[in-house]
């Protein structure tokens, strides 16, 4: 039941969507001096090695962030240094700059590391991870980034943890939930947890990643309906963005992924509309999914 290890998929197209959006949301929070709390419910290891044998086995890292950095770099530069090409969207550059710094060390930052990089002296970070092996790696990795009382690491079930630990103090902040969806109950547990969390923490920016899989269309629809209804009840704005790197008719496997956000930061929808066409084009240039017409994207905002 706990077989999922993110090292196989670190830096793939799903990570790129999730972490590029996360970077923009964190930048928005930092526009005010008021403290905030960041919460990652499925933290994983926090930091990954680009040439890890697990990443090499799937090829997803090479087809994802490694390919993106190479394509985005100016012709006279490499993906590890220098300027970006003129067609790279401004909204994508903060994420690319972050990844380039880690790639120069042969690494890729997971969401805990990205959050840690955006933590100020007055802010707090709460990381939750259940996997017995991942939690130990997470503790080692995060101690290299944070050495004080701003960090809390919790070895427990994410859905139980959000019920026990939220709302946080400071109340201003952001939560990222990205389950592996390796068991059927993840879909309903995710919906229930986020609906309840929004009710108890209505000011929080709640971000949910979900996979696009042909055989999970009904679960995805129910997940969207649950979060949309929860947002409307407050009322709060609701954003849904999807990035596809293959056709939805693909018989098996991940053909893309999406992000739902309750209380999205101002202008996030516009930034994504600038960024996603570029990512859709670039990320369908490599790998088995490569080919014309494979990639697509969408951004929907229900504002209040």
Provide the terminal-to-terminal Cα distance of the chain, rounded to the nearest Å.
Answer: 40
Could you give the maximum distance between any two Cα atoms of the chain, in Å?
52
d(CA 48, CA 200): 33
Task: Catalytic residue, from 15, 40, 178, 269: name it.
Answer: 178
Please, which residues have CB within 8 angstroms of residue 235's CB and are 6 or more apart in sequence? 304
Secondary structure (3-state) at 19: helix
| 87 is an active site residue | no
d(CA 297, CA 258): 9
**Among 256, 240, 254, 235, CA closest to 208:** 240
Please, which residues have CB within 8 angstroms of residue 4's CB and are 6 or more apart in sequence? 131, 180, 182
d(CA 213, CA 222): 14
* Residues tagged active-site: 178
């Amino acid at each position: 039941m706990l077989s999922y290890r993110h090292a196989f998929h670190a830096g793939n197209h799903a990570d790129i969507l999730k972490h590029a959006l996360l970077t923009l949301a964190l930048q928005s929070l930092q526009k005010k001096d008021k403290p905030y709390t960041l919460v990652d419910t499925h933290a994983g290891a926090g930091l990954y090695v680009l040439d890890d044998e697990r990443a090499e086995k799937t090829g997803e890292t090479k087809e994802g962030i490694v390919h993106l950095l190479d394509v985005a770099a100016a012709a006279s530069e490499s993906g590890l240094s220098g300027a970006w090409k003129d067609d790279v969207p401004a909204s994508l550059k903060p994420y690319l700059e972050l990844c380039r710094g880690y790639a120069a060390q042969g690494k890729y930052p997971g969401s805990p590391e990205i959050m840690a990089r955006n933590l100020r002296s007055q802010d707090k970070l709460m990381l939750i991870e259940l996997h017995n092996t991942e939690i130990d790696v997470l503790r080692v990795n995060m101690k290299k980034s944070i050495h004080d009382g701003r960090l809390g690491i919790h070895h427990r079930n994410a859905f139980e943890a959000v019920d026990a630990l939220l709302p946080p103090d400071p109340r201003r902040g952001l939560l990222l939930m990205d389950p592996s969806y390796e068991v059927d109950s993840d879909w309903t547990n995710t919906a229930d947890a986020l609906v309840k969390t929004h009710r108890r923490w209505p000011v929080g920016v709640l971000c949910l990643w979900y996979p696009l899989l042909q055989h999970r269309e009904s679960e995805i629809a129910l997940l969207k309906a649950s979060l949309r209804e929860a947002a409307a009840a407050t009322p709060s704005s609701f954003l849904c963005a999807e990035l596809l790197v293959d056709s939805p008719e693909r018989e098996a496997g991940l053909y893309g992924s999406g992000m739902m956000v309750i209380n999205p930061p101002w202008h996030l929808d516009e930034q994504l509309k600038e960024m996603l066409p570029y990512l859709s084009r670039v990320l369908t240039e490599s790998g088995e999914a490569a080919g014309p017409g494979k990639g697509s994207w969408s951004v929907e905002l229900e504002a209040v």
